[in-house]
């Protein structure tokens, strides 16, 4: 194969990798956008002391006031299968990086005294 073609393909691949990485780093969440997206979270995370019992008993944590980076990392771990809860894996699998950032920003802006259900 021609060296110029190989060089061009290699350069294009490297440029696309940098582009993907730059896009992932540029994702900034907003609490306002997150408020419109947390409807899927409210069903479990807005119930005080809620425990899900399938496939085993899980204590469902309160998310208000949680660190945004932790929420994003947790959602990505569910999406990748690193964390195993099947319902959370399905939910996280449907979220884009922007959705995760917005949801995380919303919950990070909350505190223990914030209303549990943002849809009221």
Say if 94 falls within a structural domain.
Answer: yes
Residue 104, CA atoms < 13 Å, CB-side half-sphere: 21
What confidence score (pLDDT) does residue 75 get? 98
Is residue 18, in this structure, part of any structural domain at all? Answer: no
Q: Which pTM value belongs to this model?
A: 0.72
For 63-116, the pLDDT digits (tens) are 999 999 999 999 999 999 999 899 999 999 999 999 999 999 999 999 866 665
Domain of 39, in residue numbers: 29-108
CATH of the domain at 43: 1.10.760.10
Please state, in angstroms and rounded to a whole number, the distance separating the CA atoms of residues 117 and 1.
Answer: 61
Tell me whether residue 99 is in a domain.
Answer: yes
Cα–Cα dist 107/85, whole Å:
20
């Amino acid at each position: 194969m021609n060296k110029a073609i190989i060089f061009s393909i290699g350069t294009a691949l490297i440029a696309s990798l940098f582009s993907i990485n730059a896009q992932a780093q540029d994702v900034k969440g907003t609490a306002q956008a997150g408020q419109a997206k947390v409807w899927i979270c409210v069903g479990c995370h807005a119930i005080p002391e809620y425990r899900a019992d399938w496939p085993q008993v899980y204590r469902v944590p309160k998310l208000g006031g949680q660190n945004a980076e932790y929420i994003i990392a947790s959602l990505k771990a569910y999406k990748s299968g690193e964390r195993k809860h099947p319902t959370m894996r399905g939910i996280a699998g449907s979220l884009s990086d922007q959705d995760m950032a917005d949801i995380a920003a919303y919950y990070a802006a909350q505190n223990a005294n914030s209303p549990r259900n943002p849809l009221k």
